[in-house]
């Protein structure tokens, strides 16, 4: 397993880079978030890698941070998401935005990524729901997100489209309970 490369950056051609490590050039595919933070050609670089062996290829995927690498590995576990799709997701949104989209179940953010349709985005949100740990300074923050998430799901179940439901949920107080939130959202939607 190749977990990290430390060497000289000798080629940059998005999304591929080549790193010379003691005379051996390793071709690595990286998300655009990592690509933009690379040094100039000829400079030293250190990249965390994920090594994939398939019947027809051996591929290296590189990342600028441990968080990005771990997110990539989580994305690979989702049914129907391969390495190319996972790289596309990490190129399209930051890890923090992805975690936020998953915690708030925002399909719209993910469908803006090229190659990710509505069904794939919904599958991602469903399968990653319990995988990401959302850190906060207090426990009230995740509970508030959970209540608004439950209100959003209730409105969609009642037949409102996602855009209408999201707009109604944004008007709610952050401390609202699920029951009161549904009542308030229905009142604002009936106007």
pLDDT attached to residue 88: 92
Which helix (H) or strand (E) element contains residue 6? strand 4-13
Residue 27, CA distances (Å) to 9, 45, 87, 168 in order = 10, 13, 15, 48
Residues 38/23, Cβ–Cβ less than 8 Å: no
Q: Mind listing the pLDDT tens digit for each residue in 64-120? A: 999 999 999 999 988 889 999 999 999 988 888 888 888 888 888 888 888 888 998
Residues 4/49, Cβ–Cβ less than 8 Å: yes
Name the H helices within the chain: 32-35, 66-76, 83-92, 95-104, 107-111, 118-128, 140-157, 162-170, 178-190
State the span(s) of the chain assigned CATH 1.10.8.
Answer: 140-190
d(C-alpha 32, C-alpha 100), whole Å: 19
State the span(s) of the chain assigned CATH 1.10.150.20.
Answer: 67-128
Return the CATH fold of 140-190. Answer: Helicase, Ruva Protein; domain 3 (1.10.8)
Beta-carbon neighbour count of residue 147 at 10 Å? 22
pLDDT attached to residue 71: 92
pLDDT attached to residue 158: 78
Q: Mind listing the pLDDT tens digit for each residue in 18-59? A: 999 999 999 999 999 899 999 999 999 999 999 999 899 999
- Give SS3 for 164: helix
Q: Mind listing the pLDDT tens digit for each residue in 141-161? A: 333 445 777 787 778 777 788
Instruction: Please tell me which residue, 92 or 134, carries the higher pLDDT value.
Output: 92
CA 18 to chain centre: 25
**123 burial level (CB within 10 Å; 0-12, 13-18, 19+):** middle
pLDDT attached to residue 42: 95
pLDDT attached to residue 58: 93
Q: Does the pLDDT of residue 134 top 80, yes or no?
A: no
State the span(s) of the chain assigned CATH 2.40.50.140.
Answer: 4-63
d(C-alpha 47, C-alpha 45), whole Å: 7
What dotted CATH number matches 67-128? 1.10.150.20
**Entry pTM:** 0.67
What dotted CATH number matches 4-63? 2.40.50.140
Q: Are strands 4-13 and 24-29 parallel, antiparallel or unpaired?
A: unpaired
């Amino acid at each position: 397993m190749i977990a990290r490369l430390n060497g000289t950056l000798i080629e940059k051609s998005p999304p591929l880079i080549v790193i010379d490590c003691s005379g051996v050039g390793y071709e690595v595919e990286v998300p655009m978030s990592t690509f933009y933070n690379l040094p100039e050609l000829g400079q030293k670089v250190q990249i965390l890698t994920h090594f994939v062996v398939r019947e027809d290829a051996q591929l290296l995927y590189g990342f600028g941070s441990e968080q990005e690498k771990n997110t990539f590995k989580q994305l690979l576990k989702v049914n129907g998401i391969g390495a190319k799709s996972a790289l596309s997701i990490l190129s399209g949104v930051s890890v923090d935005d992805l975690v936020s989209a998953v915690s708030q179940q925002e399909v719209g953010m993910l469908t803006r990524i090229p190659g990710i349709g509505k069904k794939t985005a919904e599958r991602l949100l469903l399968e990653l729901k319990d995988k990401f740990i959302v850190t906060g300074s207090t426990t009230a923050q995740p509970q508030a997100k959970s209540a608004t998430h439950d209100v959003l799901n209730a409105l969609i179940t009642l037949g409102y489209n996602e855009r209408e439901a999201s707009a109604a949920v944004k008007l709610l107080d952050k401390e609202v309970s699920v029951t009161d939130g549904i009542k308030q959202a229905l009142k604002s939607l009936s106007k």
